[in-house]
Every structure is written in structure tokens, then in C-alpha cells.
Amino acid sequence: MIADEMTPAVSFQKVARHFGAVKAVDALDLDIAAGEFFAMLGPSGSGKTTCLRLIAGFEQPTAGTISIFGERAEGVPPYRRNVNTVFQDYALFPHLNVLDNVAYGLMVKGIGKAERLKAAEEALALVQLPGYGARRPGQLSGGQRQRVALARALVNQPKVLLLDEPLGALDLKLRENMQEELKSLQKALGITFVFVTHDQGEALSMADRVAVFNEGRIMQVGSPQEIYQRPKTRFVADFVGSSNVLPPDFVQRYAGQRRWGSLRPEAIRITRETGSDAIQARVSGVSYLGAATRLALDTEGLRLHASVPSGTAVPEQGDAVAFTFNRDAIHLMDEAP
């Protein structure tokens, strides 16, 4: 009953959620440790949001068992789970002011007015919106609404906080600020955060561990470094970090093993000299990204992306170039050819 140190915050065992013939989540095993910042990363329709809704209790599994801090959660309605959600479009109540929105969870639990409004004020201060209580959600900017949604969830002191693409609707600058803030908030509060996103940069920069989803299954779980540097499958290499996926023939020539491989764009060096180990290529695209310039290189019927740091000479589109890379930089994937 009482969870010890090792009990996972959320545990999925053979969990499936089918909608008719569509297998949104299929035979999924997953353990999320208590106090960790966990990201679920994947393209839309990969089952990551369904997983979140299974934890929140909005969906019931078709098969399998879900435990939250060791307690079985199947058949338990959302209002009996000590789990709170920050919704994608915030879902603030339009007829209540900000303070009443934040105090809502305490109000329905029967906590007295003075006490719950005080707690709501504190939660608003925590998300750096002190004094905004009297406003209506409609009078707030997107970033402010996001903070109110966060305060409304955190004021209940949940065991697990679920965040469904919480930064999706914010512009870039705000998103970067919010990423850092969420991270430090999570560290300070020690609450388990489960975070759904389709943005690999966001997942890698914020999470302690990342699960990459595709077609209702988890392709790989690991630290951001593992996911980025040692993808197990072509899908993960492709989806996380824009790695070059190398076909088995190519890998055999340069790494000696007939396996699928991946090569990060920054591992490719453009050279002028046409030495024996240099590979000839033609530049088919140049994209300026600020800190670096991304080149598309056509070689041997393959398109590879290379990242050239700013400040170095950049070839133009159509130029014939040669490139090299350290043979050790090729990462061999588990996936069979």
C-alpha cells in the first residue's frame, strides 16, 4: 500500500488501448521512476497522448495493468486519482477568474474559502503571476494562461503531474524560458513530471529520460544522450536529432558491418582536398540556421545532411565538394538490414 523508494511512479504492464481496429497503444511496458522528469516523444498519432490520458484516467486500457505508485488504477475515475494534468490548450474555466480557476481543485475537495484562496495565491506566486487572481482567463496572454494552468494543477500537490504539449502554443522565446522554468520547478518540487511532446529538442533539453513512441509502441527509452547518440532503430535516429540514416551497404563499406547505421550531421567535415578517404558529393541545398549552416549532400544515390559551423567557408548550391568523417562516428543500430 505505502510506496517505498523503489516503487515506480507509473507502471504500465502490457497495456493496450484499442479504438475499434486502431491500436492507439499496443502491449506497452513502461516504468516511470518517482521524482523524474519523463518525456514521451513521438509524431502525432504515435500513442503518446493516449498514454497520458491512460495515466490521467480519461481512457481505460483495453488490456493490461496500470499502477500509480504501486496502486492499481484501472477502473478508477480521474477524480479519484491524485494526478493532475496541464492540458494542451490549458482548459481554463472561462466563467471563473484566475484565482477561482486555481482554487477549483481545492474547492471541490471541500477546503474552506479563506484557506483555498490563500493556497491559490501562493501557487500563482510560484508560477510568477502574483496579483493576477482577479482577471478572467480571456484577458491573459497564451504564456500567462499556461502558467495559470500549471498553478491550477500544482496547487493540488499531485503525485504525478501530466503535461500534454504544454509549450506547443507558445512562441519560441517564451517556450525557451518556460522550458527552463518547468525544469527548475520540477527539481524544486520533486514531483514526477510526465511530459508529452512532438518536439525532440524540447524532450532532449528538459527530460531526465525520454521514451520515443511510434505506432502505439515505445521504440526506445533512455537518457537524452542515449537517445540522441545511440538510437536503436532507423525511426529513432530519423525522428530524434535529424541524424543521417545510413543503409547497410554504405555502413559495410565504411564500418565493416552490414547493419543500419546513423551519422550525426555535425560529424561530417567538408574538405577541399580530394584525398583517398574523402567522398565526392554535390551540394543540393544550403539552409542557414544561425549557429550553423545545414548542407544537403548528394552522394552515391544518398542524401546526407552536414552541419557546418558559422564562420567557416560554406560552399554554394551545385558545388562539387568532398567530405570525410571519423569512422567511429558511425553508430550501428540494432535494427537488422
Give me the residues that bind other proteins (CB under 8 A), please.
56-58, 77-79, 83-85, 87, 89, 91-95, 104-105, 107-109, 152-153, 156
* Min separation Cβ 66 and other proteins, Å: 16
Closest CA to 178 of 155, 160, 201, 202: 202
Q: With CA atoms as reference, report the closest residue to 164 among 217, 81, 86, 82.
A: 86
Calpha distance 32→194 (Å, rounded): 8
In whole angstroms, how close is the CB of 160 to other proteins at the nearest point?
12
Which residues, 6 or more positions from 59, have their beta carbon under 8 angstroms from its beta carbon?
Answer: 17, 50, 53
Q: How far is the CB of 100 from other proteins (least distance, A)?
A: 10
- What are 241-246's contacts with CB under 8 Å, separation 24+? 241/200, 241/204, 242/305, 244/268, 244/304, 244/305, 246/302, 246/330
| Residue closer to other proteins (CB basis): 9 or 56 | 56
The angle formed by the CA atoms of residues 34, 183 and 49, to the nearest 5 degrees, is: 65
**Sign of the alpha-carbon dihedral angle for 31, 34, 36, 39:** positive
Nearest-angstrom CA–CA distance, 192 and 4:
15
Cβ at position 195, least distance to other proteins in Å: 16
> Which residue number, 317 or 326, has a Cβ lying nearer to other proteins?
317
- The smaller minimum CB distance to other proteins, of residues 87 and 254, is found at 87
CA 319 – CA 64 distance, rounded (Å): 56
What minimum distance in Å lies between the beta carbon of 320 and other proteins?
Answer: 22
Nearer CB in complex with other proteins: 158/261: 158
89 vs 180 by CB, closer to other proteins: 89
Residue 288: HSE in the Cβ half-sphere, 13 Å Cα cutoff: 8
Nearest Cα residue to 251 out of 337, 129, 316, 165: 337
In the complex, the smallest distance separating the C-beta of residue 208 from other proteins, rounded to whole angstroms, is 24
Q: What is the largest CA-CA distance in the chain?
A: 79
- By the 8 A CB rule, do 40 and 196 touch? yes
Name the residue nearer to other proteins (CB basis): 138 or 290. Answer: 138
Q: Which of 107, 169 has the CB closer to other proteins?
A: 107
Running DSSP on this structure, what letter comes out for residue 291? Answer: S
Nearer to other proteins, 162 or 204 (CB): 162
Nearest approach in angstroms of CB 156 to other proteins is 7
DSSP of 112-150: -HHHHHHHHHHHHHHTT-TT-TTS-GGGS-HHHHHHHHH
- CB of 56: closest distance to other proteins in angstroms? 6
Between 88 and 299, whose beta carbon lies closer to other proteins?
88
> What is the nearest approach in angstroms of other proteins to the Cβ of residue 103?
10
